[in-house]
Chain A
Amino acid sequence: MRELLRHRLLWPVVVLVLLLLLNVIYNNGFLSIQVKDGHLYGNLIDILRFGAPLILVAIGMTLVIATGGIDLSVGSVVAIAGAMACLRISDLGDQGAVGGVLGAIGVALVLCLVLGAANGVLVAAIGVQPIVATLILMVAGRGLAQLITDGQIITVNSPPYKLFGGGYWLTLPFGIIVVAVVVVLTALLTRRLALGLLIESVGGNAEASRLVGIRSRGLTIMVYTFCALCAGIAGLIISSNVSSADGNNAGLWIELDAILAVVIGGTSLMGGRFSLTGTVLGALVIQTLTTTIYSIGVPPETTLLFKALVVTLVCLAQSPAFRAKVFHRRRRRPPAPAPSDEIDEKVSVAT
């Protein structure tokens, strides 16, 4: 029982369950899922479907935050990916041609990879603070997206592209399948392979990682590239869902939601240990919150207020200073292990 209470995913799960319960109270049939025309329908499916882009972006963000960094540019990358894909598709002679659409998607994703790698190089090779390095693309990327779409909203009429974000496959919305694939692949890469361990090591103690021979530079570049790729896929889903690309508004604020999802999921902004499951839960909490606000009749405009509240509460809950000040019983626990090897070091960062 105590194990359970101290589990790091406890709180996101509790919040998610409470939100779902709230919905059930307002709408008894909230949890029901029906099959119509071979497609699954229901509120839960909708939460997953509309939450798909956020989950994707948040997955990439999780790895970046685990290295001790942050990526503010994902929103712009979302817009760029959608814009690039729609531009290429609208140039096709036959917008229904699967090969052409795949080519367009490929071009868009390669562009995202390049942008992500640029972020990574700025952070890892040039040594710019992550928040600053990615701020550049956050600002310029919006302009780039609008440049690609020439300031217009590009509309496409391409059934194969529509499938990506709006279609169904095996009774499920295609976007959910994409997310599932990415999440499973990421989990395999990080947990089956050793990527996760090395990332956590770099984020947890960069100098120690250098001294055990981890190539943190390459690793960091890779992680930022991966984050941009995730954002790119999310951008494709978003733009495919509405069959158009809007350089100005696509992915607006998604970087903030993604960071929020990661933090709710229990990954510390200081880097180190990360939890993909936690991030997925965090993203679902945010998406469910949005849905809930709509369904229980609170004006949708208040979503931002709730988010502000959630950010504050989650950060306060994670802040050691806050816990120390509010819960005095912390003192009764055994104090932090002996600084035995430190008691004779400099006071350079005393207090």
Chain B
Amino acid sequence: MAAPEPILRMRGIGKQFPGVRALDGVDFRLLPGEVHALMGENGAGKSTLIKVLTGVYEIDAGQIELAGRPVAFSSPLAAQQAGISTVYQEVNLCTNLTVAENIFAGREPRRMGRILWREMRRRAAELLARLEIDVDVTAPLSSCSLAVQQMVAIARAVDIDARVLILDEPTSSLDAGEVAQLFRVMRRLKDQGIAILFVSHFLDQVYEIADRMTVLRNGRLVGEYRTAELPQVELVAKMIGRELAELKALEDRPPEPDGAPLIEARELSRTGAIQPFSLTIHRGEVLGLAGLLGSGRTELARLLFGADHATSGTLRVDGKETALRTPRAAMGHGIAFCSENRRAEGLVPGLTVRENLLLALQATRGWARPLPRARQEELVEKYINALNIRPADPEQLVRNLSGGNQQKVLLARWLILEPRLLILDEPTRGIDVGAKTEIQRLVAELSGGGMAVLFVSAELEEVLRLSHRVGVLRDRRLVAELENGEQLTTDRLMETIASGAAS
């Protein structure tokens, strides 16, 4: 393949959010007629880069050129009109309208203001036939599978004369056949000279479809590679990276646990979320879960807390079979769950630090048995000090705290319950290094005190440092359970993640 001039070129892109540098001097280019994968873990800056490119955010530094001319988009619509179309996993179409209408909404063929339905259907059918998509254009979009909906979105984008097509995690909810169909369409578009930016968490898919890839980490560019020249293990290493230097080493790894099994999952699964898995967590044990974003690590954790219903399998707590139908039931067994999505699933932003801290405890007591004020203040003070929450003002609204301190509030909320199993889903994501170390130290202490911890993290260093055992997930499957000993290294973990087998 000859290297033509890039259709899109981004240089030195910088984007700052309060407290976080989301993108820092990132270069990126996209050639016509290629599928280019954008790779990176949570917080790497992928989404920010896409949002910057499509006009959702303004850039703080750098420049964007489209077909050699500098551009700045004020909105996704402006980007679309310039030829950059985006198709998201959550399809941005109107499912109440028909397929044909979704393709032509706002651009319907008309005569004297009257929509020519027949003409519209004919053109929609032609367009879809060209992409080899077999679907009834008069059917409402809601009756189509998600895959077809995505392809309809793509068809719409292509028909608007897209030169750059961004596919943001289009395959997350598709089955293998649908993915194949999508890839067929993508190849066809590629042959027509369209540049496709592809984001996926499935390494196999990336290696199947992408010509080149750009890897980001922590808002910086790691590099641009030809897919064929970059082995999977190296890719994982580049995505995950190492942060050793920044963290003070923990004094000790937590002592080896000798507890009895606390919770045992047997062939537990949830359709579409996680394949059947079996897992045992012992008292006083830190079990780490490693895997890339979208590998099913959050889904597994949610099943153990009853946040979602399992579709098959059994769960034993203290050797007794139980169905955890609600979070409340799980809490009754001493299980606590700190979600990765602080804003949507953790904080009640309009309430104070004190109220957020005491929420779980109060929920278990019910509304009729309030915590005495003195006890409240005692608990709140204790945990604000223990976790070093800043500002140390219990009456501050929690929405005014920084990310790290919000995370500590959520942790404290669960610690107050003195749970037997604490599930932490990415507790250190998006927070500053100081708070990160504090939380890691806390996990070690808790486990030393006999609490079992399920620790989900994207950072392998962190997982290795804290865990007694490590479960590895890949493509919604628990592929390995490794004892954390001398011989277990980040390299070996990466290999397992990349290959999907405990070598």
Contact with A along B319-344 (1 / 0, CB 8 A): 00000001110010000010111111
Task: Flag if B18 contacts A194 (CB, 8 Å).
Answer: no
CB neighbours (8 Å) of B400 from chain A are: 337
A37 CB within 8 Å of chain B: no
**Interface 9-mer from B48-56, B97-105, B254-262, B462-470:** B48-56
For the complex formed, measure the closest distance between the CB of A56 and the CB atoms of chain B, giving whole angstroms: 22
Task: From A192, A200, A346, A347, give the contact of B348 (CB < 8 A).
Answer: A200
Interface residues of B in 328-377 (CB under 8 A from A): 328, 331, 337, 339-351, 355, 358-360, 362-371
CB neighbours (8 Å) of A198 from chain B are: 362-363, 367
Task: Flag if B365 contacts A208 (CB, 8 Å).
Answer: no
For the complex formed, measure the closest distance between the CB of A235 and the CB atoms of chain B, giving whole angstroms: 27
B307 CB within 8 Å of chain A: yes
- Supposing A194-B370, A204-B348, A208-B346 touch, asked if A340 and B359 sit within 8 A by C-beta, the answer is no
Interface residues of A in 32-88 (CB under 8 A from B): none
| Residue on B nearest A219 in the bound complex, by CB | B367
A137 to B249, CA, bound (A): 64
**Interface 9-mer from B39-47, B145-153, B269-277, B382-390:** B39-47
A25 CB within 8 Å of chain B: no
Interface residues of A in 196-222 (CB under 8 A from B): 197-198, 200-201, 204-205, 207-215, 219
B140 CB within 8 Å of chain A: no
Task: Flag if B363 contacts A212 (CB, 8 Å).
Answer: yes
Task: From A192, A204, A214, A340, give the contact of B363 (CB < 8 A).
Answer: A214
For the complex formed, measure the closest distance between the CB of B292 and the CB atoms of chain A, giving whole angstroms: 13
- Supposing A204-B348, A338-B402 touch, asked if A213 and B22 sit within 8 A by C-beta, the answer is no
CB neighbours (8 Å) of A341 from chain B are: 340-343, 403, 429-430
Task: Flag if A351 contacts B76 (CB, 8 Å).
Answer: yes
A335 to B20, CA, bound (A): 13
A264 to B409, CA, bound (A): 32
CB neighbours (8 Å) of B349 from chain A are: 204-205
CB neighbours (8 Å) of A200 from chain B are: 348, 350-351, 355
CB neighbours (8 Å) of B366 from chain A are: 194
CB neighbours (8 Å) of A211 from chain B are: 305, 307, 327, 337, 339, 345-346
A344 to B44, CA, bound (A): 8
A210 to B328, CA, bound (A): 8
A200 to B359, CA, bound (A): 11
Task: Flag if A213 contacts B331 (CB, 8 Å).
Answer: yes
Task: Flag if B168 contacts A344 (CB, 8 Å).
Answer: no
CB neighbours (8 Å) of A348 from chain B are: 88, 90
CB neighbours (8 Å) of A350 from chain B are: 51, 56, 76
A193 CB within 8 Å of chain B: yes
Task: Flag if B413 contacts A212 (CB, 8 Å).
Answer: yes
Task: From A192, A209, A343, give the contact of B43 (CB < 8 A).
Answer: A343
A201 to B363, CA, bound (A): 10
A3 CB within 8 Å of chain B: no
Interface residues of A in 289-336 (CB under 8 A from B): 334-335
Number of residues on chain A facing chain B (CB within 8 A): 38
Task: From B75, B88, B169, B362, give the contact of A197 (CB < 8 A).
Answer: B362
Task: Flag if B51 contacts A347 (CB, 8 Å).
Answer: yes
Kindly state the interface size class of chain B when it binds its partner: 35 or more
Task: Flag if B367 contacts A193 (CB, 8 Å).
Answer: yes
CB neighbours (8 Å) of A205 from chain B are: 344, 347-349
| Residue on B nearest A209 in the bound complex, by CB | B348
Task: Flag if B331 contacts A194 (CB, 8 Å).
Answer: no
B89 CB within 8 Å of chain A: yes
Task: Flag if A346 contacts B328 (CB, 8 Å).
Answer: no
For the complex formed, measure the closest distance between the CB of B397 and the CB atoms of chain A, giving whole angstroms: 9
Interface core residue of B327, B343, B348, B364 (most chain A CB under 10 Å)? B348
B61 CB within 8 Å of chain A: no
| Residue on A nearest B42 in the bound complex, by CB | A344
Task: Flag if A192 contacts B344 (CB, 8 Å).
Answer: no
A86 to B215, CA, bound (A): 77
A273 CB within 8 Å of chain B: yes
Contact with A along B78-106 (1 / 0, CB 8 A): 00000000101110000000000000000
For the complex formed, measure the closest distance between the CB of B482 and the CB atoms of chain A, giving whole angstroms: 27
CB neighbours (8 Å) of B56 from chain A are: 347, 350-351
B233 CB within 8 Å of chain A: no
A276 to B280, CA, bound (A): 49
Task: Flag if B343 contacts A197 (CB, 8 Å).
Answer: no
CB neighbours (8 Å) of B367 from chain A are: 193-195, 197-198, 219
CB neighbours (8 Å) of B401 from chain A are: 337
CB neighbours (8 Å) of A209 from chain B are: 348, 359, 363
A284 to B347, CA, bound (A): 34
Interface residues of A in 148-205 (CB under 8 A from B): 192-195, 197-198, 200-201, 204-205
A334 to B348, CA, bound (A): 21
For the complex formed, measure the closest distance between the CB of B146 and the CB atoms of chain A, giving whole angstroms: 14
A214 to B400, CA, bound (A): 24
For the complex formed, measure the closest distance between the CB of B200 and the CB atoms of chain A, giving whole angstroms: 14
Task: Flag if B348 contacts A340 (CB, 8 Å).
Answer: no
- Supposing A337-B18, A350-B56 touch, asked if A342 and B350 sit within 8 A by C-beta, the answer is no
A215 to B351, CA, bound (A): 18
B431 CB within 8 Å of chain A: yes
Task: Flag if B344 contacts A207 (CB, 8 Å).
Answer: yes
CB neighbours (8 Å) of A207 from chain B are: 344-345
CB neighbours (8 Å) of B86 from chain A are: 347
Task: Flag if B89 contacts A342 (CB, 8 Å).
Answer: no
- Supposing A194-B367, A194-B369, A194-B371 touch, asked if A342 and B327 sit within 8 A by C-beta, the answer is no
Task: Flag if A344 contacts B20 (CB, 8 Å).
Answer: no
Which 6 A-B residue pairs are closest in the complex by CB-CB distance?
A338-B19, A341-B430, A213-B328, A204-B348, A340-B403, A340-B430
Interface of B with A (CB < 8 Å)? 17-20, 22, 42-48, 50-51, 54, 56, 75-76, 86, 88-90, 168-169, 305, 307, 326-328, 331, 337, 339-351, 355, 358-360, 362-371, 399-403, 413, 429-431
8 contacts across the A-B interface (CB closer than 8 A): A200-B350, A200-B355, A201-B348, A211-B339, A272-B350, A337-B402, A338-B402, A346-B47
Interface of A with B (CB < 8 Å)? 192-195, 197-198, 200-201, 204-205, 207-215, 219, 272-273, 334-335, 337-348, 350-351
* Other A-B pairs, 14, CB within 8 Å; known A205-B344, A347-B86: A193-B368, A195-B367, A198-B362, A200-B350, A200-B351, A201-B348, A212-B327, A212-B360, A212-B363, A272-B350, A341-B341, A341-B403, A346-B88, A347-B88
